[in-house]
Amino acid sequence: MPKKAALSKGFIYLTLTLGSLLMLLPFIWMLGTSLKSSGEVMMMPPVWVPSDWKWENYATAWEMAPFARYTVNSFIVTILSTIGELLTTILAAYAFSRISFYGRDLVFAVLLGTMMVPGEVLLIPNFVTLSNLGWIDRYEALIIPWTASIFSIFLLRQFFLGIPKELSYAAKVDGCNNFRFLWTIMVPLAKPALITIALLKAIGSWNAFLWPLIVTQSKEMRTLPVGLTSFSTEAGTVYELLMAASTMIILPMIVLYLILQKYIIEGVARSGIKG
Amino acid sequence: MKKIFLFMLMALLAAVLVACGNDDSDSASAKEESNSNAEGNTTENSEGIKTVIDSPIEIEFWHAMSGGHEEALTKITDDFNASQENITVKLVNQGSYDDLSQKVMAAAKAKNLPVMSQAYEDWITEYLDNDLVTDLTPYVNDPKYGWSEEELNDIVEIFRKSNTWDGKFYSMPFNKSTRIMFYNKDYLEEAEVEVPTTWEELRTASEKLTMEKDGKKVIGLGLENSVTLEFNQWVEQAGGEYLDEETGEFKLNSPEGKEALEFVNGMIQDGIARTAGEDGYMSGPFTRGDVALYIGSSAGIPYVADPAKETGINWSAAVLPAGKEAATPFAGTNVTVFNSATDEEKLAAWEFTKFLINTENTAYWASKTGYLPVRYTALESDEWVAYKEENPVYGVGEQQFDAGFYDPRVVGANELKNAVAKELDKVLLGELSVEEGLEAAQEAADNILGN
């Protein structure tokens, strides 16, 4: 029996290792390429380990654009739009799941309906709106339009609906109002869902390219993904530098994910009331 | 069931609301547009331009140059700003050409266009249709601010033509590239092949150069994936044309078009030519030694030069082989000035345009980027001559000026080229015969051109 268990365990680990290697291949290629010379980048079959490690690619890439400034901007935009989205999402999800008011489901249905509109269609009208507000080339344009997400509201509403009503009855009996109940009981319970929402938002915001490019004019206001365009021209791309820059750019997101990983798994494995 | 129906109704309502929002902003901006155009923009009478710039003024120039190209542009702009008392040009990089084009459109709608921008000819045609660009002819002819006959004719003829609409200048050439033929010197020597100068020689050379080398297969001729997108080169060489700009008639489905497609497709089907495929650009396979010849943009030279140093490929470049005629496409963008600018801003933009493409700067620009100088006098300048001596391949482009032609400048040119390329690709993949492919291309083109 133990032998059998060990065997199946071994098999599971083998499968997992192979699977993770497959997932990691692009990352390994990125890391390898970021240290190659330009001649090695295009070799067929692909070179996985560079013959001589060109660490200077990182310095060169960093010099190609004002990346220090872009990094500061990316952090400001990502942190503020994530906090903003969490606030609006928590309030809206609570209203849609726990407060009865006239036309609630109608409003919610309309909100969901707007999700059907592709973002590209909205690009120009949104630009015009922001332009009329005088927000072009300012942090407002980079942050405020992204502080609400219908998808996140929907996600959190479902999570709130899953929290037993008995909790709110008990709280009401103890004289706790809606607002306090939301922040002291619902939000802590919904932590895993909120962290999932925050992580999705942070990654989306960190990687956003087209919008920051469209609403900014000056280099001082731009974000990291815009900086990545410095390595491409109409005739080709300098892959080794692009990969060096990409490696630096994804690091913060990887760190964030590693820190938050355990909460996400918790979110799947636990609900409001311990059975 | 009822809930679902309600939900669908709501979704529809939401979509309609969003659409209405769009309409509103559209009509509002259209109204504003007609207002701003009503103000007129003629500052010119027989005495020339009346405006003077006597107070500090800053103008924005939107561009899509990155990396080394952006550095060279920044240097020219800094020089200009230092030379001017009142004018400051602010460079704004807007990402790729696609991003730039989108952004100009958004800015036009939002009524906050910059003073000037890089633009392809077909974009300018579209801007003209919407009355967004300034006629530069009065500036060119102005006794005080303009150019002499000699200075104007110093601009390479093909570029003068491509920036003229109905006899008026709406832009000036800035970063221009052409297509050239790269060749692997060692392979040609080995196969005892001369550099091909005609279609027949190109075919024979490709046959001879398709060989086994150190256990790997070398294909004679490499073509970019965009060969079907840029098929006008082959049609023009066969003595035909891709599209008649005057009549808007699609001309590829013709004996010349057939000859061109048969020639290119024949070489691919016979295995003596290949496209870049998953390699993206041909510079990769060429510098690995997988192909002996390759036809591509001169803008690709740095992407061949750097890896070739590493892989030890011995290479050079030559003018395109001629078919019935020699014909070489010239591409790249121009600088254009928007109508929404004030008279002072327009004059400032003109001053900058003159500076950007004067003999010294166009030579400097070309020697830093690999684009072509846009003035004949720049071809003789010490800087450019010295540069060519060091990098002979950069001298190939200008040998083709007289055989030059440019892309059709019709609205939707890009869409048209893409639709046609899709059908021609099917021919190269062997899914359609040459005749079927041309018919399908004709149909796709008629759809877009509304013929």
Q: What percent of chain B has pLDDT over 90?
A: 69
* Listed residue (B225, B237, B231) closest to B273, CA to CA: B225
B177-206 pLDDT, tens per residue? 999 999 999 999 999 999 999 999 999 999
pLDDT bucket at B22, cuts 50 / 70 / 90: very low
pLDDT bucket at A119, cuts 50 / 70 / 90: confident
Question: Per this entry, what is the length of chain B?
Answer: 451
pLDDT for residue B450: 80
Mutate to test the interface with A, among B4, B105, B303 (most CBs of A within 10 A): B303
Segment among A126-140, A231-245, B286-300, B347-361 with least mean pLDDT: A231-245
pLDDT for residue B31: 38
Q: Are B426 and B432 in contact (CB under 8 A)?
A: yes
Within 273-292 of B, beta carbons closer than 8 Å to A belong to: 279-281, 283-285, 287-288, 290
Chain B hits for A236, Cβ within 8 Å: 280-281, 283, 300, 303
pLDDT for residue B252: 94
Segment among A233-247, B240-254, B257-271 with least mean pLDDT: A233-247
pLDDT greater than 80 at residue B17: no
Q: What percent of chain A has pLDDT over 70?
A: 93
Look up the pTM and report it.
0.79
Please give the average per-residue pLDDT across B412-432, as a whole number. 92
pLDDT greater than 50 at residue B383: yes
pLDDT bucket at A235, cuts 50 / 70 / 90: low
**Is A104 near chain B, with CB under 8 Å?**
no
Tell me the three state secondary structure of residue B450.
coil
pLDDT for residue B158: 95
Task: List residues bridging with B184 in a β-sheet.
Answer: B315
Using CB atoms within 10 Å of the CB of residue A119, give its burial: 0 to 12 exposed, 13 to 18 middle, 19+ buried: exposed
* Cα B287 to Cα B304: distance, rounded to the nearest angstrom: 6
**Is A269 near chain B, with CB under 8 Å?**
no
pLDDT for residue A49: 86
Using CB atoms within 10 Å of the CB of residue B340, give its burial: 0 to 12 exposed, 13 to 18 middle, 19+ buried: buried
pLDDT bucket at B66, cuts 50 / 70 / 90: confident
A14-32 pLDDT, tens per residue? 999 999 999 999 999 999 9
User: Per the omega criterion (within 30 degrees of 0), is the bond before A45 cis?
Assistant: yes
Which of B99, B281, B288 is nearest residue A43 as measured by Cβ atoms? B288
- Which tokens hold the place of B227? 């060969």
Chain A hits for B103, Cβ within 8 Å: 213-214
Please give the average per-residue pLDDT across B281-288, as a whole number. 89
Radius of gyration (C-alpha) of chain A in whole angstroms: 24
pLDDT greater than 90 at residue B352: yes
Q: Is B310 within 8 Å of A37 when comparing Cβ atoms?
A: yes
Q: Is A44 within 8 Å of B311 when comparing Cβ atoms?
A: no
Mutate to test the interface with A, among B2, B6, B18 (most CBs of A within 10 A): B18
The C-alpha of A181 sits at a distance from chain B's nearest C-alpha, in angstroms, of: 30
Q: What percent of chain A has pLDDT over 90?
A: 48
Identity of residue B348: A
**Is A47 near chain B, with CB under 8 Å?**
no
User: A40 or A53, which is more confident?
Assistant: A53
Chain B hits for A125, Cβ within 8 Å: 21-22, 25
Helices B413-428, B434-449: crossing angle, 10 deg rounding: 160
**Is B97 near chain A, with CB under 8 Å?**
yes
pLDDT greater than 50 at residue B27: no
pLDDT for residue A267: 57
- Which tokens hold the place of B418? 């893409």
Please give the average per-residue pLDDT across B21-46, as a whole number. 41
Q: Are B428 and B275 in contact (CB under 8 A)?
A: yes
pLDDT greater than 90 at residue B136: yes
Tell me how many residue pairs between chain A and chain B have CB atoms under 8 A apart: 129
User: A263 or B199, which is more confident?
Assistant: B199
Contacts of B230 (CB under 8 A, 6+ apart): B179, B224, B329, B417
pLDDT bucket at B96, cuts 50 / 70 / 90: confident
Classify residue A254 by its DSSP letter. H
Chain B hits for A113, Cβ within 8 Å: 7, 10-15
Using CB atoms within 10 Å of the CB of residue B363, give its burial: 0 to 12 exposed, 13 to 18 middle, 19+ buried: buried
Q: Is B14 within 8 Å of A116 when comparing Cβ atoms?
A: yes
Q: What percent of chain B has pLDDT over 70?
A: 89
- Which tokens hold the place of B73? 């542009």
**Is A106 near chain B, with CB under 8 Å?**
yes
Mutate to test the interface with A, among B4, B101, B112, B304 (most CBs of A within 10 A): B112
Please give the average per-residue pLDDT across B4-23, as a whole number. 50
pLDDT for residue B210: 95
**Mean pLDDT over each residue of chain A, to the nearest integer:** 87
Please give the average per-residue pLDDT across B14-21, as a whole number. 48
A46-81 pLDDT, tens per residue? 788 888 888 999 998 898 888 999 999 999 999 999
**Is B111 near chain A, with CB under 8 Å?**
yes
Q: Is A230 within 8 Å of B70 when comparing Cβ atoms?
A: yes
**Is A120 near chain B, with CB under 8 Å?**
no
Q: Are A146 and A184 in contact (CB under 8 A)?
A: no
pLDDT for residue B51: 83
The C-alpha of A245 sits at a distance from chain B's nearest C-alpha, in angstroms, of: 13
Please give the average per-residue pLDDT across B389-418, as a whole number. 90
Q: Are B330 and B405 in contact (CB under 8 A)?
A: yes
B68-79 pLDDT, tens per residue? 888 899 999 999
**Mean pLDDT over each residue of chain B, to the nearest integer:** 88
Using CB atoms within 10 Å of the CB of residue B37, give its burial: 0 to 12 exposed, 13 to 18 middle, 19+ buried: middle
Q: Is A42 within 8 Å of B96 when comparing Cβ atoms?
A: no
**Is A100 near chain B, with CB under 8 Å?**
no
Please give the average per-residue pLDDT across B280-290, as a whole number. 88
DSSP B213-269: ETTEEEEEEEE-GGGTTTTHHHHHHTT--SEETTTTEE--SSHHHHHHHHHHHHHHH
* Cα A246 to Cα A226: distance, rounded to the nearest angstrom: 11
* Cα B219 to Cα B208: distance, rounded to the nearest angstrom: 9
Tell me the three state secondary structure of residue B173.
strand
pLDDT for residue B108: 93
* Listed residue (A206, A108, A107) closest to A156, CA to CA: A108
Residue of A nearest to B105 (CA): A124
**Is B305 near chain A, with CB under 8 Å?**
no
What phi and psi, each to the nearest 5 degrees, are found at residue B118?
-75, 145
What phi and psi, each to the nearest 5 degrees, are found at residue B62?
-90, 135
Contacts of A129 (CB under 8 A, 6+ apart): B25
pLDDT for residue B4: 56
**Is B16 near chain A, with CB under 8 Å?**
no
pLDDT bucket at B280, cuts 50 / 70 / 90: confident
Tell me the three state secondary structure of residue A30.
helix
Segment among A44-53, A58-67, A102-111, B56-65 with least mean pLDDT: A44-53
Task: List residues bridging with B405 in a β-sheet.
Answer: B329
Tell me the three state secondary structure of residue B336.
strand
